[in-house]
Amino acid sequence: MNMESTSAAEQERNEDAAASPVYPGRYARFGAFQADLASAELYQNGQRIKVQAKLFQALLVLLGRAGDIVTREDVRRQLWPDTSLTNLDANVNTTMNKLRQVLGDSSDNPSYIETIPRRGYSFIASVEFSDVRGLPPVEVENSGAEIPTQNDARQPFWSDKQISTLLRVTSLLFAGMLLGALLAFIWFFAQAKNQRAASSVRESASLMQNGFSSTKPAAHLL
């Protein structure tokens, strides 16, 4: 009888411990998440995310016994203490699957909640309890300076203004080259014309000189 009484007392204490876990701090941090145990709020990277009350209660059960095995019966006593469920496993499994979705976890490759076959669940991530809330996300004040973004980094090296200026300079250079070629052509044409005129003058002078030389002996004979 004494052994039975002792066993019953120990079982009752275990049930009370499972129903009312004691946390060493108000805030529980794990991975990118922080749970405010007092206000039942969950934050991810400093941003509050929506979580149903039953899911948060299931998270509390797991956090209070992180690293240990939490049976489905433990979850039932915490979430539905006054209800006798006929489909206990289905309700507990659904709750844990939804909690995994909130945490972005996977049952096949868990980072937070691991399923222990035929026994229950275990919270496998490292948990840090503290009474000091984590620092909020840093907000960058708008100082008027433009902060380069990824889209800005992908912009072309030449801007529209630079391209327009380059086109104008290229057009001017091309026009200058055409004008220089035209002036050179005119100069060569003028030189060729002058050379032809000078050649004609020389030919005329030569003909005149030859004609004068041919008529001079005849005058001597007379």
Contacts of 124 (CB under 8 A, 6+ apart): 67, 110, 111, 112, 113, 114
Whether the CA torsion 94, 100, 105, 111 is positive or negative: it is: negative
Q: Check residue 145 and give its pLDDT.
A: 39
Please compute, for residue 66, the number of CA atoms within 13 A of its CA located in the half-sphere on the CB side: 18
What is the rounded average pLDDT for all residues in the chain? 76
- The pLDDT confidence band at residue 129, using thresholds 50, 70 and 90, is very high
Q: Check residue 84 and give its pLDDT.
A: 65
Q: What is the chain's Cα-based Rg? A: 50
Kindly report the CATH number that applies to the domain delimited by 11-130: 1.10.10.10
Mean pLDDT value of segment 20-39: 88
d(C-alpha 82, C-alpha 76), whole Å: 9
d(C-alpha 128, C-alpha 33), whole Å: 11
Q: Is 0.85 topped by the overall pTM?
A: no
Q: Check residue 142 and give its pLDDT.
A: 39
- The pLDDT confidence band at residue 144, using thresholds 50, 70 and 90, is very low
Beta strands in 33-161 (DSSP E): 33-36, 41-44, 47-49, 69-71, 113-116, 120-123, 128-130
- The residue with greater pLDDT, 200 or 59, is 59
- The pLDDT confidence band at residue 120, using thresholds 50, 70 and 90, is very high
